[in-house]
Amino acid sequence: MARPLDGRTIIVTGASSGIGAATARACAGTGMSVLLVARRLDRLQALADGINRTSRGRADVLVIDVAAPEASTAILDAAERAHDGRLDAVFANAGYGYARRAVDETDADIRRIFDVNFFAAASLLREAGRRLLERGDAGHLLMCSSCLSKFSLPCYGAYAATKAAQDAWCGAMRLELLGTGIEVASVHPITTVTEFGDVVDRQSGGAGAPSLSDRVPRPFVQSSDRVARAVVRCLRRPRPEVWTSVVARAAAAGMTIAPGLGDRAIAMFARRAGAVTGPRKAH
């Protein structure tokens, strides 16, 4: 039986654009109240104004860096204040990526991407889970992982590693919370039409590793609205993993079964896309 969403609440991080903004709109369209969390006030306010003007649900805004100390506590406190103490669902979506060869990485950059993509999301779901357990309440905790949680691409090792960590974290929480009424799900989009590619280009800093985001075959590209609709379906009918592409899910399964074959297929695609897949020759 589908769960009613009207009147329930959800926190959406990374809500200023892309999947986060689309999910916030989709949730508000069902009658949910949404706390929009990100760093860019102008975009959050514009999104909130649009939701409050046209949707059945309500939107409130919190400007914060999700990786800041005590950010999870501040986010959950703000949501409960805005929603009269209610806490029904969390979608930890904030994150970014960049393209760089592993041998060119720095410890600082690896730690920073883990701070934002993994540690901030894990902290938010952990603290939300604690509060729900203490009250004996049901709830739904979701984390935006990626199809790259199951396999990687050349020059995306750091990003894929954070997504694999998210996937493992959600899997463990899901098993630990069985029977409590608290659902946990990981979301696995493919390449999505968002700002992600532009962020990759900026964050990569000219490291000689081209972004693959604009070279991905069309069957592996989708809209952020498609991901948002899949998240809403999961909120209504919980499932362990949310996949937005049958092709990508089949590819992930195939690469797990035959990693050598998968490596050859990915290397072929990466070479055609102009990405670095092997040692550079000295000139």
Residues with catalytic function: 159
CA dihedral of residues 254, 168, 266, 282 (deg, nearest 10): -150
Contact 70, 120 (CB under 8 A): no
Tell which residue, 137, 20, 140, 14, has the closest CA to residue 85.
Answer: 137
Q: Give rounded-to-5 percent helix, strand, coil for the chain.
A: 50, 15, 35
Biggest distance spanned by C-alpha atoms of the chain:
65
**274 is written with which tokens?**
């102009």
d(CA 219, CA 231): 20
